[in-house]
């Protein structure tokens, strides 16, 4: 199976980015007549997190492309050989499949409330049902699961770094968004926070 992994990962992330980011962005933009991409472009801490987040996703995609096109160069990514087990690979692939389904379902359940960033201009309904009844941030949870799955499928120093950086950026972004949501929805969001976990 390992000889097919480069192609499988490339196709997976093309599908993931195509459906969960590009497709969803186009769909919501048509429905609300504005872009759901609302990350700031200023010099604030929030703007900086947005820049790092986009750069991390680009680097992730470039890694997957490089792994597919130049699999013989894999040794340069500092492989963790003791983790290259069929059980770990299979577990990673299962995590990737679950991550994709989980993320797409969560985005569907958000309907037109889905945004990349904090929308201070348009008030949207607070989504607390479906996956949002078990996690306040299921989309971010799906992204972390995908990064974890990628690490298990290709265990190396680079994918470990992507996982750690992604985890830190997501944790910061979650807190920025939750601070805004608490101000916007007040007691409704506070009650929701008390009964629903941040991730899982």
In whole angstroms, give the CA distance from residue 155 to residue 150: 8
Task: Decide if pLDDT at 39 tops 80.
Answer: yes
Q: What is the model's pLDDT at position 40?
A: 82
pLDDT of residue 168: 96
How many helices (H) and strands (E) the chain has is answered by 7, 0
pTM metric for this prediction = 0.92
Residues 138-184: pLDDT tens digits?
A: 999 999 999 999 999 999 999 999 999 999 999 999 999 999 999 99
Average pLDDT over residues 105-131: 90
Give the residue, 21 or 152, on which the prediction is more confident: 152
Query: Average pLDDT of the chain?
Result: 93
Phi-psi region of 125 (alpha: psi -120 to 50; beta: other; left: phi over 0): beta
Judge: domain 2-195, CATH 3.40.50.2300.
no
The 8-class DSSP code of residue 127 comes to P
C-alpha span between 17 and 123 (Å, rounded): 26
Q: b/e map of 145-178 (b: 16 or more CB within 10 Å)?
A: bbbbbbbbbbbbebbbebbebbeebbebbbeebe
Residue 1's pLDDT is: 56
Domain boundaries, the chain: 2-195
Report pLDDT digits (tens) over 52-81. 999 999 999 999 999 999 999 999 999 999
Please give the full DSSP string across 151-179, using - where no structure is assigned: HHHS-BHHHHHHHHHHHHHHHHHHHHHHH
């Amino acid at each position: 199976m390992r000889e097919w992994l480069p192609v499988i990962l490339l196709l997976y992330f093309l599908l993931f980015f195509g459906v969960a980011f590009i497709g969803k962005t186009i769909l919501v933009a048509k429905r609300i007549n504005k872009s759901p991409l609302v990350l700031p472009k200023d010099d604030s801490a929030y703007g900086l997190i947005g820049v790092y987040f986009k750069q991390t996703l680009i680097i992730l995609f470039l890694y997957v492309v490089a792994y597919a096109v130049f699999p013989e160069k894999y040794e340069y990514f500092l492989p963790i050989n003791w983790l290259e087990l069929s059980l770990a690979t299979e577990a990673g692939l299962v995590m990737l499949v679950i991550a994709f389904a989980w993320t797409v379902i969560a985005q569907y359940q958000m309907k037109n409330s889905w945004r990349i960033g904090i929308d201070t201009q348009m008030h949207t309904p607070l989504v607390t049902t479906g996956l949002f009844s078990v996690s306040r941030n299921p989309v971010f949870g799906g992204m972390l699961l995908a990064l974890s799955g990628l690490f298990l499928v290709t265990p190396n120093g680079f994918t470990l770094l992507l996982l750690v950086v992604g985890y830190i950026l997501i944790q910061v972004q979650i807190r920025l968004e939750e601070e805004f949501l608490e101000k916007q929805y007040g007691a409704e969001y506070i009650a929701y926070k008390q009964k629903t976990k941040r991730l899982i």
